Amino acid sequence: MLNSPLSPSSTELVISVLEMVLSEGKPLDRAYSVHFSGLQLAPSEQARITKVAGDILRRLNLYCFLSDVKPEEMSRLGTRLINAWHLFHELELPKLQYSLPLAEAEYFARLEEAKKQPALWDGCPEWLDEMGQAQLGEAWAKERAALNTLPKRFIRTNLLKCTREELAKKLRNEQVQTQEVEGVDTALEVTSDSALFRTESFKKGWFEQQDAGSQMVAAAVDAKPGMRVIDACAGAGGKTLSIASQMKGKGRLLAMDVEQWKLDSLKQRARRANADNIETRIIASSKTIKRLKLSADRVLLDVPCSGLGVLKRNPDAKWRDTPERLPVLVELQKHILQSYSRMVKVGGILVYATCSIMPEENRNQVDAFLAENDHFKFIEDETISVADSGFDGFYLAKLERIAE
């Protein structure tokens, strides 16, 4: 991951980020934003900090075990955990003025003990390991291991402005190295530690940062120019923008969400992308959905979920209240699927999607819906495996409305 130890200032930033996530409950991306704001960090140093903080959160229980530090002790004993991280990656210990001692003999004894516990070694909390084994069986071990790896950086070509080849060439001229992603026609993998959002390519709207698996979900909508399409859980609009690109600016694309600030963010991104056929609408009540009954050629339901397919990108979710929230999320998914499906017209396609790899949120939800709604028929589904694809984990199912 790194070939040299962290500097004292970078170590301090890593500990501060971890403390904000673990003690204050802030999302990891928010913690980065707070701590990087106003700092003139080189892109390479910012990348080092995010890699280390992300890796520690992906295997937090392992590093805490190796250093004998509890997550809530980060402000007081964080340097000891950082020392354990350096030892684990066979790096020279950082030269920290106030570094707390770590007995290396005890560390190596704990390391041998950890190797005998696969879930601990993979940074997997007990609740998640039990769920994964129950729902995925033998396939869980490889998914568990894949979820603690460093996520790759993917971007999506904005076909409203350029081709993938033109984007790759322009980025190369801006010292950003990329390679094409097999099987995902719009995706490039960024292979250099470059400041993507400082490039002219980004400012001109030639690309958006989006995981290749997420791009596959959007591609499954198969929106055509001139269609009426609804992205009913649009959020900040990553998939909405991808769908707009498919539609070549022709037709009507309605992006809906229950939070206005997300739609406001989408409007800004849409302007940069020249996605002029996007209309945003807040879901104020069930009447908003009823007014759109039987109106859409395509409806994407990228429903709220546990996020258990994107843990390598959002590792802090493993250490939150996900097991307590999951039953509530499952009920919400059922409600959205039952209610929002009314917007699909006869002959139209509904795409149900999550960023989870757990059947409880995925095929089980689809099967339960179809059992109660014979006016839809199953077309196909796909689970995008973290281990097999190298992408984040997603699920998508395509259903066709065959009657009112």
Q: Annotated binding site for S-adenosyl-L-methionine: which residue ranges?
A: 257, 302
**How many angstroms separate the CA atoms of 190 and 168, rounded?**
10
Give the end-to-end CA distance of the chain in Å, rounded to a whole number.
55
**∠ CA 243-246-250, rounded to 5°:** 95
E-strand spans in 296-393?
296-302, 344-354, 376-384
- SS3 label, residue 24: helix
Q: Which one-letter amino acid corresponds to residue 107?
A: Y
Annotated catalytic residue within 124, 233, 305, 355 = 355
Kind and range of the H or E run holding 7? none
- How are beta strands 278-282 and 207-209 bridged, if at all? unpaired
The token pair at 247 is: 């539609």
Q: For residue 124, indicate whether it is catalytic.
A: no
Helices 74-88 and 104-115, packing angle to 10 deg: 70
| CB count in 10 Å sphere of residue 112 | 8
DSSP string, 140-179: HHHHHHHTTSPPPEEEEE-TTT--HHHHHHHHHHTT--EE
Q: Which one-letter amino acid corresponds to residue 85?
A: W
**How many angstroms separate the CA atoms of 69 and 63, rounded?**
8
**How many angstroms separate the CA atoms of 337 and 169, rounded?**
42
Q: Which of 65, 58, 60, 59 is nearest to 113 (CA)?
A: 65
**How many angstroms separate the CA atoms of 395 and 266, rounded?**
23
- How are beta strands 252-257 and 278-282 bridged, if at all? parallel
Tell me the residue length of the chain.
404
Beta-carbon contacts of residue 304 (< 8 Å; ≥ 6 apart): 233, 329, 332, 333, 336
Q: Phi/psi at 305 (nearest 5 deg)?
A: -150, 180
**Mind telling me the catalytic residues?**
355
